[in-house]
Structure 1
Amino acid sequence: MTIRFPVLIALILALSAVGLTYEIAAGRVLAPFFGTSLLTWTTVIATVLGGFSLGSALGGIVAERPRAVALRNVRSALVATAVLMAVSPTLLGLLHSWGVRGTDGMMLSVILVFFPASVCVTLPSPLLAKLAIEARPGREGSSLGFVLAAGSVGAIFGAILAGFVTLPLIGSTATFAACGVAVLLCLPFVRGGQTGTPGTTIAAAVFVVFAGLAGTPACQYESGLSCLHVDRQGPEVRLVSDGTMQAAESTAPGEASDDGTVGLALSYTEWFWARMDRDLGPDPSVLFVGGGGYTLPTKLLASRPLAEAVAVEIDPLVTKVVRAHMPRAAEMIARTGFDAAEGDGAGRRLGIFHADGRVYLNETEQRFDAAVMDAFSSGSVPAHLVTREAFARLREIVEGPVYVNLLDRPDGPLARGVHAILRELYPHVEVVHGARTSTGRTNVLFAASRLPLAPLDSLPDRYSPARISDARAFTDDRGWVGHR
């Protein structure tokens, strides 16, 4: 029994779409365990492309076998693909629970979890391409062109489907299961030769559906940008994004300050607030690049009734989760927050922009008295927010001091690059750092100003002045590449 040419092209397109959807979902599901950086995406892309290459080579060997054997091998590869894709997030979680950590652990996890399915999903393509070319004798050239085009169109469709539809709407775990279902749906169209055992296919289908419905989601709240968890530790509500704690709010009654606001729960925000409280007047306008838990804007507006703030947060889901789980920040947003992209919010003092911080800096005409740079993607700052060009633009729109939070070693490469930028742009730069974690990293905090910075009476517990070595300033052309 032959397979019609349009069906073969549709199969090639579908499997290519599944392959790219799987690749993008792999990068997303890594975030809660290993963060998101240039290194994680490079590893995922290299591993999946390596799997595609080996799958194509093995598929070519399969395509040369007797037709009945080749078709049986292809159907087996499709069943294996479905199972391997559906089980990917579970395997990743198991490896992490067994203590796989760091850059080496991330690379090992990616290879063990995502390489096998990448091989299997590509293995059918050479046989399908051969059958497509044989289906139109005398038109081999155009048939090959359609095969190549179908592969490319499928990849484009898969990338769009993952980034704009499945990951934001159903999450990464269900996306992997959906990939498995899509592969199994291809099986009835791969006809001819000896059929496999129906029980095996049925068992695989049941397993894939079960994995999608019963599998533990990698994220409590998930969008195309963030993997969020809300963690309650006694009186503290903590917001964790891609495995890194982004914000915390203390609701303990005994920690209320003189202005009636609740004390800040993270030590780095205590230093930021002490610095801001000393540096700013009674009615400042402050830009916050990175909304996070909105704790600092809440503190500012509660303690200074004439102050105004603009918070730029790239992911609307973060704001939604804060409003649902962090009561003090939620109350401030409800009382005085407004969508700054839709109007001037007359009578309200907290403008919220859901946009990329660099895009906002480039486009805004508003001027500010101070700025706080506290944007993170997983465990590091997005590269385009720590360049000379970004801070030069910030200096144009901010008259007063700029405060910056980084996660790095006290004299690490990110801290050195940002320090070099600030020293170029500002005559007065102060740097402190907290206690190192088990990874050797900590919060490295900067205050940069045109005017001298008045000394603080004290530092938060376990914080001390930092000594930063000279380094090359990051630029848009040669910027920060991230780290584990």
Structure 2
Amino acid sequence: MGLTYEIAAGRVLAPFFGTSLLTWTTVIATVLGGFSLGSAVGGVIAEQPRKEALSNVRSALIATAVLMAVSPTLLGLLYAWGARGTDGMMISVFLVFFPASVCVTLPSPLLAKLAMEARPGREGSSLGFVMAAGSVGAIFGAILAGFVTLPLIGSTATFAACGVVALLCLALVRGGEPGSPGVIVAAAGFVAFAGLAGTPACQYESGLSCLRVAQRGSEVRLISDGTIQAAERITRDDAEVELALSYTDWIWGRMDRDLGPDPSVLFIGGGGYSLPTKLLASRPDAQAIAVEIDPLVTDVVRQNMPLASKMIAQTGYDAAEPRAGGRLGIVHADGRVYLNETQQRFDAAVMDAFSSSSVPAHLATRETFARLQEIVDGPVYVNLLDAPDGPLVRGVHAILRELYPHVDAVAGDLNALGRTNVLLAASHRPFEPLETTSETYGPVRISDARAFSDDRGWVGQR
């Protein structure tokens, strides 16, 4: 139950603070800190008279159930009250997830004590069995959260399910004062209400993504973990495909200038499939492979983004099982894994993979781009979200400067957090000037820095 709660905590944070090494480190440290304090306090409780100790354990289980079930609501309230940035994330994690982590481990020392008292003279093996059972339970809880509950019922219901398990454990605590049935019934009712009536953290949710679709005027936006991941402008069926996000306009302008009439282009990161759709609509002889780690993203695009959905229906195919006539191969896999395994060659590549509002660290290393260089004969286009001369931009720019003689960089307008889309284009040949100058994106100077590697890579930011 504790590990299920911990993994669900990392998942429910994503819509508010994104997913990064920082968020997961904070969650793990906070929950483990709660486990430690709970074990220490539980040890003191275990030394109390039996009836008093059992009563306190029952209270701890009831508190665990309520605190776990209410966690998503508390997180949403703190965010609504202004919790932002790294500091807001750390405070929110502590206030929301630390108390339940303390309560959930309070019964453990008493259970260990009872197990040893039940087998006089064999205290060592009894304690070992209790610890092993705890480890097995943690493994089962982690698997249950990652493979079953989060993908199937979502994070809000997963927290409520953790609360239900805590209440069911009351039946195993026998002896001592029975406790108030009214309190137990009230707690059970609250947990059930939280699970059934609580607002889901995500409109669409899998173990990898927390997605929401929003329509603003003629635009349909795909929002992942609170960050706009893709957008499509709805037009007449016979109209030209229009790109809704300014950064895709610049990348497409660069691709349109650099590529021939029948290029083969690799897209690492499917997102809304807007650039592959634009490429294939503009160049009838072009081919594309889009690598998207989460099948849910593709399903949501099919359901909500008409132009991309139409292109997938007309020309899409499973790239693992190619069929005749398909021009848009779709691969549901991690981009790095695909790069390592593919034998196919391409004329260009677009690196546009995101986890929340940050590039996955293993896709921003020297080894990744060196492998990309081996299979891509032409230019590589990279989309980053950072300050114009931020650490992520500097590290990736350093990689490209090592591998390619020609690297162009542009940046857009800053958002409220001082970040923007920074776009890099790298090639073995000089870039020809674009025929039209973007009013949104202009050249940016990037400082020298250490190139990221698999050993010393990007750690993410908030």
TM-score, normalised on structure 2? 0.99
Distance 2:151 2:438 in 1: 38
Preserved CA contact (<8 Å) 2:246 2:440: no
Structure 2 residue aligned with 1:9: none
Structure 1 residue aligned with 2:307: 328
1:126 correspondence with 2:109: yes
Distance 2:430 2:267 in 1: 22
Note the C-alpha offset of 1:137: 1.2
Note the C-alpha offset of 1:100: 0.7
Distance 2:165 2:356 in 1: 30
1:308 correspondence with 2:269: no
Deviations 1:82-120 (A, max 9, x none): 000000000000001111100000000000000000000
Structure 1 residue aligned with 2:336: 358
Distance 2:187 2:115 in 1: 28
Given candidates 11, 16, 24, the residue that maps to 1:28 is 11
Equivalences for residues 238-387 of structure 1 within 5 A: 238-253=221-236, 260-341=239-320, 343-387=321-365
Q: What is the SS of the residue equivalent to 1:196?
A: coil
Structure 2 residue aligned with 1:80: 63
User: Does 172-181 or 243-252 show the bigger shift?
Assistant: 243-252
Note the C-alpha offset of 1:332: 0.2
Distance 2:400 2:47 in 1: 63
Q: What is the SS of the residue equivalent to 1:70?
A: helix
Q: What is the SS of the residue equivalent to 1:293?
A: coil
Structure 2 residue aligned with 1:421: 399
Distance 2:437 2:368 in 1: 29
Structure 1 residue aligned with 2:40: 57
Aligned length: 462
Given candidates 202, 208, 228, the residue that maps to 2:191 is 208
Distance 1:126 1:220 in 2: 40
Preserved CA contact (<8 Å) 1:178 1:212: yes
Distance 1:338 1:133 in 2: 60
Preserved CA contact (<8 Å) 2:241 2:281: no
Distance 1:423 1:326 in 2: 36
Given candidates 417, 437, 442, the residue that maps to 2:415 is 437
Structure 1 residue ranges, 4+ long, deviating more than 2 angstroms after superposition: 259-262, 457-462
Whichever residue aligns with residue 283 of structure 2, its letter is: R
Whichever residue aligns with residue 261 of structure 2, its letter is: P
Equivalences for residues 14-163 of structure 1 within 5 A: 18-163=1-146
Distance 1:188 1:384 in 2: 46
Whichever residue aligns with residue 65 of structure 2, its letter is: A
Structure 2 residue aligned with 1:187: 170
Q: What is the SS of the residue equivalent to 1:458?
A: coil
Note the C-alpha offset of 1:197: 0.6
Whichever residue aligns with residue 436 of structure 2, its letter is: S
Q: What is the SS of the residue equivalent to 1:389?
A: helix
Structure 1 residue aligned with 2:437: 459
Preserved CA contact (<8 Å) 1:271 1:459: no
Distance 2:350 2:154 in 1: 31
Distance 1:40 1:221 in 2: 21
Distance 1:261 1:225 in 2: 33
User: Does 138-147 or 381-390 show the bigger shift?
Assistant: 138-147
Deviations 1:48-89 (A, max 9, x none): 000000000000000011100000000000000000000000
Structure 1: 5+ residue stretches without partners: 1-17
Preserved CA contact (<8 Å) 2:218 2:233: yes
Note the C-alpha offset of 1:189: 1.1
Note the C-alpha offset of 1:447: 0.5
Structure 1 residue aligned with 2:451: 473
Structure 2 residue aligned with 1:4: none
Whichever residue aligns with residue 289 of structure 2, its letter is: V
Q: What is the SS of the residue equivalent to 1:381?
A: coil
Q: What is the SS of the residue equivalent to 2:221?
A: strand
Deviations 1:338-380 (A, max 9, x none): 1111x12211100000000000000000000000000000000
Structure 2 residue aligned with 1:198: 181
Whichever residue aligns with residue 60 of structure 2, its letter is: A
Q: What is the SS of the residue equivalent to 1:40?
A: helix
Preserved CA contact (<8 Å) 1:33 1:96: yes
Preserved CA contact (<8 Å) 2:383 2:422: yes
Whichever residue aligns with residue 352 of structure 2, its letter is: D
Structure 1 residue aligned with 2:206: 223
Distance 1:288 1:463 in 2: 22
Distance 1:457 1:281 in 2: 16
Note the C-alpha offset of 1:457: 2.4
Whichever residue aligns with residue 152 of structure 1, its letter is: S
Deviations 1:18-42 (A, max 9, x none): 0000000000000000000000000
Whichever residue aligns with residue 174 of structure 1, its letter is: A
Preserved CA contact (<8 Å) 2:336 2:368: yes
Note the C-alpha offset of 1:142: 1.1
Structure 2: 5+ residue stretches without partners: none
Whichever residue aligns with residue 303 of structure 2, its letter is: A
Q: What is the SS of the residue equivalent to 2:410?
A: strand
Quote the RMSD (CA, aligned, Å): 0.9
Whichever residue aligns with residue 285 of structure 1, its letter is: S
